[in-house]
């Protein structure tokens, strides 16, 4: 959840302060690498614990799976941008401000709600 909340904060910063200030103060090469740490952890632990997750219903399973795919797919993108391209402004140029609005108003709240509701079955047999 911390990973999603961190992304939420960065996208909210962009919506409030605009692209220029976001690139100057919030979305920097350092923050990109720092964000990759919890993203990688969330992706790995999500994949490893997926079979133990107990879902409330099919919609819950689909939404939680989508959040896991989103985070897992984001790791190589952030790695590529941080270490190969070495230019975090690509995020702003690739995804318009509409993308930030979509994430903070719909996607991230749905992911947070679904992650909050997930339960785990006992792995001991």
Total domains in the chain come to 1
124 pLDDT higher than 70: no
Domain assignment present for 95: yes
Q: Which helix (H) or strand (E) holds 54?
A: strand 53-54
How far CA 41 is from CA of 5, 19, 76, in Å, comes to 14, 28, 13
Residue 45 lies in a domain: yes
Parent domain of 19: 2-120
77 within some domain: yes
- Element (H or E) spanning 120, and its range? strand 119-120
92, part of any domain: yes
Q: CB count, 10 Å around CB of 105?
A: 12
User: Quick check: is 125 in a domain?
Assistant: no
Let me know if residue 96 belongs to a domain: yes
In a domain, 110, yes or no: yes
What are 22-67's pLDDT values in tens digits?
Answer: 999 999 999 999 999 999 999 999 999 999 999 999 999 999 999 9
Cβ pair 10, 106 in contact under 8 A: no
Residue 1 confidence (pLDDT): 82
Whole-model pTM: value is 0.86
């Amino acid at each position: 959840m911390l990973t999603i909340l961190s992304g939420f904060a960065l996208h909210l910063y962009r919506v409030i302060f605009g692209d220029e200030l976001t690139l100057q103060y919030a979305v920097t090469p350092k923050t990109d690498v720092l964000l990759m740490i919890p993203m990688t952890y969330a992706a790995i632990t999500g994949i490893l614990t997926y079979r133990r997750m107990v879902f409330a219903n099919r919609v819950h399973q689909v939404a939680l799976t989508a959040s896991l795919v989103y985070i897992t797919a984001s790791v190589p993108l952030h790695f590529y941008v941080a270490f190969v391209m070495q230019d975090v402004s690509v995020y702003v140029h690739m995804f318009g401000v509409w993308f930030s609005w979509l994430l903070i108003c719909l996607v991230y709240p749905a992911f947070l709600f679904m992650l909050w509701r997930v339960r785990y079955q006992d792995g001991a047999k």
